[in-house]
Amino acid sequence: MTEETAREQILAAAEGLYYRKGYAAVGMDELRAASGVSLRRLYSLFPAKTDIVKAVLDRKHAEWESGLTDAVAGAGADPRDRLLAVYGYLEDWFCADDFRGCAFINAFGELGGTNPEVAEIVRAHKASFQAYMADLVVDAGAPASLAAQLSILAEGAQSTAAISGDSRVAAQARAAADVLISAAVTAPAL
């Protein structure tokens, strides 16, 4: 088994276990068993559990950005449709059988208070999303303040859907976003 194959097996197993059970609940022995990689090899690739958590979050960030970008691009050229496509992406995600909420919110809730590295990764991920929303808002010709509002709405939808188990939260968030966008785009400049 190559180093890259072993690394991939470890990260895939860790991602699944962390998402289902939580970051703190999964030990290295369980991860070894799920990945099929020896404990010695696991530690040679990831000397500490935090190293695995960081690598999993890096993967989740890339997955999130790719999926979101594809969904927005698929919405066409209309800036309003592109903004609302964010909530369509959330709805698809919330409808997945294995949806357990945002991996970053989960990581911050479990580890953010005790692990500054994890907290910084989560903050950077969330800042990246807000910057992406800001670009979409600029393209729509809306005031910059709309980006923070739409981001908060999306973040709240993620938490609410995870807790309630109700994927309809995304449609409700989309409807609220539509109202916010309409108000922002039609509001007279001050």
pLDDT (0 to 100) of residue 186: 79
Task: Tell me the CATH number at 159.
Answer: 1.10.357.10
Domain shared by 148 and 182, yes or no: yes
Instruction: Say whether 142 sits in a helix, a strand or coil.
Output: coil
Buried b (16+ CB within 10 A) or exposed e, 130-157: eebbbebbeebebeeebbebbbebbbeb
Domain shared by 92 and 139, yes or no: yes
Domain shared by 132 and 68, yes or no: yes
Domain shared by 32 and 65, yes or no: no
Q: For residue 128, how many other CB atoms are within 10 A of its CB?
A: 13
Domain shared by 113 and 37, yes or no: no
Domain shared by 35 and 86, yes or no: no
Q: Which pair of structure tokens corresponds to residue 145? A: 């303040």
How big, in percent rounded to 5, are the helix, strand and coil portions of the chain?
Answer: 75, 0, 25
pLDDT (0 to 100) of residue 65: 97
Amino acid at 2: T
Q: Compute the Cα dihedral for 12, 13, 18, 19 and give only its sign.
A: positive
pLDDT (0 to 100) of residue 188: 59
Q: Round the average pLDDT of the chain to a whole number and report it.
A: 95
- To which residue do tokens 């303040």 refer? 145
Q: Range of 111's domain?
A: 53-186
Domain shared by 70 and 16, yes or no: no
Mean predicted confidence (pLDDT) in 130-137: 97
Nearest residue to 152 via CA among 175, 178, 126, 171: 126
Domain shared by 93 and 154, yes or no: yes
User: Contact 161/170 with Cβ under 8 angstroms?
Assistant: yes
pLDDT (0 to 100) of residue 185: 85
pLDDT tens-digit series, residues 63-109: 999 999 999 999 999 999 999 999 999 999 999 999 999 999 999 99
